[in-house]
Structure 1
Amino acid sequence: MKLDQIIATRDKKTVYKTDGLVIKVFNENHPKSDVFNEALNHARVEETGLNIPRVAEVTQTDGKWAIVTEYVEGKTLAQMMEEDPDNLQQYMNRFVDLQLEIHSKSSPLLNKLKDKLNRQINSLAGELDATTRYELHTRLDSMPKHTKVCHGDFNPTNIIIDKAGTAYIIDWAHATQGNASADAANTYLQFSLYDQRLAEIYMNLFCEKSDTAKQYVQQWLPIVAAAQMTKGKESEKAFLMKWIDVFDYQ
């Protein structure tokens, strides 16, 4: 397969554009099962009717596994927010509306978010003591079980707006079915890592548009902070540990 233009580079993958397609090429040591699970997630989300680029194939290039999807010409919502800060509120409104559209869908064959979060908490035995892990598991088990589609990494870099103004949602590697407020807590946390002002704008809009109590979304923060810690980013550790100290919000 011919790989022309690099459009993104991450720790575990390189993304190329060629012949109207996007080829996400994973590192040699990336588990084959994770690649196929991501493609399966993407295909299942396609079936919900959400506007996302279509999966074309799973293949190999130079011995590395790759997922091939349609290419969408446009800018990310993150770029638009940065280039046009005067219209930030308008962009953030659209951002939240897109997330609520995701949450309006169901996909019964997606993995369950609670199961994934419990596994992630268990994996932190070397980072968190047994008491903290127990408190996180207890909190998670007490949260209501829902079956809404959750993106799992919903942030403005994962939305592409084409020239006609149509939004496409990308990167469904972490998609699950579960509680929408957990998904919102994850998005809030991602904003908080880089810009607390944007995080508060987002939280207020999400809670207003979804008619959700802010305290309810906040109860998920220690859990999603623990999940974020499993990515092993040393620069985020101190920030995340502050959220993982489990406590009740007033």
Structure 2
Amino acid sequence: MGAELIATTATKKVYRDGDKAIKVFNEDFPKAEVLNEALITARVEETGGIKVPKVLEVSVFEGKWSITYEFIEGKTLKQLMDENPEKLPEYMDLMVDLHLNIMSKQCPLLNKLKDKMIRQIGDIDELTDSIRYDMHTRLDGMPKHTKLCHGDFNPSNIIVKDDQTMYVLDWVHATQGNASADVARTYLLFCLQDQKKADMYIDVFCRKTGTAKKYVQSWLPIVATAQLSKKRPEEAELLHRWANVFEYQ
């Protein structure tokens, strides 16, 4: 492949080939998950009103599944925040506005957020039956909405072009559900990196929407427990704390 390697993760490599970005997955990566990512992204793209890199092709290269996307030239919002800390309030304001635009949409063919979280909680072997029951009960008691939720909305998944147009990447975790659950997840993702940014993000969101901070925070134990299913050791301590796991021990 005559393309430039631009990113590597545990499950894939991403190449740039001119105006295309090619995501090549490891040989053992499940085919169903590759096809699902392409399908979810295409459905979000068809929703309209959100800048999303277009899916151009799904193929197999040397026994490895790949997805080819439109390449978006620019910097991630995380890069801009790191390079221009004095502009953090401005960037956070733009990020919340972008999140609100996403959550104003509906994509009825996507999986339901609650169903996905039920599966995630069920996949965590370390949880006791009492904790699992408590999380399912909390989840069942939350208001049921059908707003578009990104599922991994953070500054690294936002590309800002030179003209300030913002594109949102990595829709593989997108679902339809309660917007405050998606906000709680973004808050937790910020907490794993920078508590100041986490607090700023939730403050801006609640101010712009008139949402009580306590309501968003009521999602945190559920969202943190679901996030534990990803089995990332570096996240475990904080997520256990938010999930209130320790109070059961």
- The answer for the alignment partner of 2:103 in structure 1 is 103
CA displacement, residues 50-70 of structure 1 (integer Å, 9 cap, x when unaligned): 111110011111111111100
Structure 2 gaps, min length 5: none
Which shows bigger deviation, 211-220 or 98-107?
A: 211-220
Count of matched residue pairs: 245
- The answer for the alignment partner of 1:133 in structure 2 is 132
Aligned residue identity for 2:164: G
Task: Show the 5 A alignment for 1:106-185.
Answer: 106-124=106-124, 126-185=125-184
2:6 alignment partner, SS class:
strand
* Distance (whole Å) between structure 1 residues aligned to residue 221 and residue 243 of structure 2: 4
Q: For the structure 1 residues 146 and 3, does the alpha-carbon distance in structure 2 shift closer, same or farther, using more than 3 Å as the test?
A: farther
* Residues 106 and 148, structure 1, Cα contact 8 Å, conserved in 2: yes
Task: Show the 5 A alignment for 1:33-52.
Answer: 33-49=32-48, 50-52=50-52
- The answer for the alignment partner of 1:85 in structure 2 is 85
- Following superposition, the deviation at residue 246 of structure 1 comes to 6.6
2:44 alignment partner, SS class:
helix
Q: TM-score, normalised by structure 1?
A: 0.96
- The answer for the alignment partner of 2:205 in structure 1 is 206
- Following superposition, the deviation at residue 5 of structure 1 comes to 1.1
* Distance (whole Å) between structure 1 residues aligned to residue 167 and residue 25 of structure 2: 22
Q: For the structure 1 residues 19 and 167, does the alpha-carbon distance in structure 2 shift closer, same or farther, using more than 3 Å as the test?
A: same
Which shows bigger deviation, 141-150 or 226-235?
A: 226-235
1:8 alignment partner, SS class:
strand
Aligned residue identity for 2:123: S
- The answer for the alignment partner of 2:54 in structure 1 is 54
Q: TM-score, normalised by structure 2?
A: 0.96
RMSD over aligned Cα atoms: 1.1
* Residues 113 and 179, structure 1, Cα contact 8 Å, conserved in 2: yes
* Distance (whole Å) between structure 1 residues aligned to residue 123 and residue 186 of structure 2: 22
4+ long deviations beyond 4 Å: none
Structure 1 gaps, min length 5: none
- Following superposition, the deviation at residue 157 of structure 1 comes to 0.5
* Distance (whole Å) between structure 2 residues aligned to residue 65 and residue 58 of structure 1: 7
CA displacement, residues 131-154 of structure 1 (integer Å, 9 cap, x when unaligned): 001000000000011000000000
- Following superposition, the deviation at residue 19 of structure 1 comes to 2.2
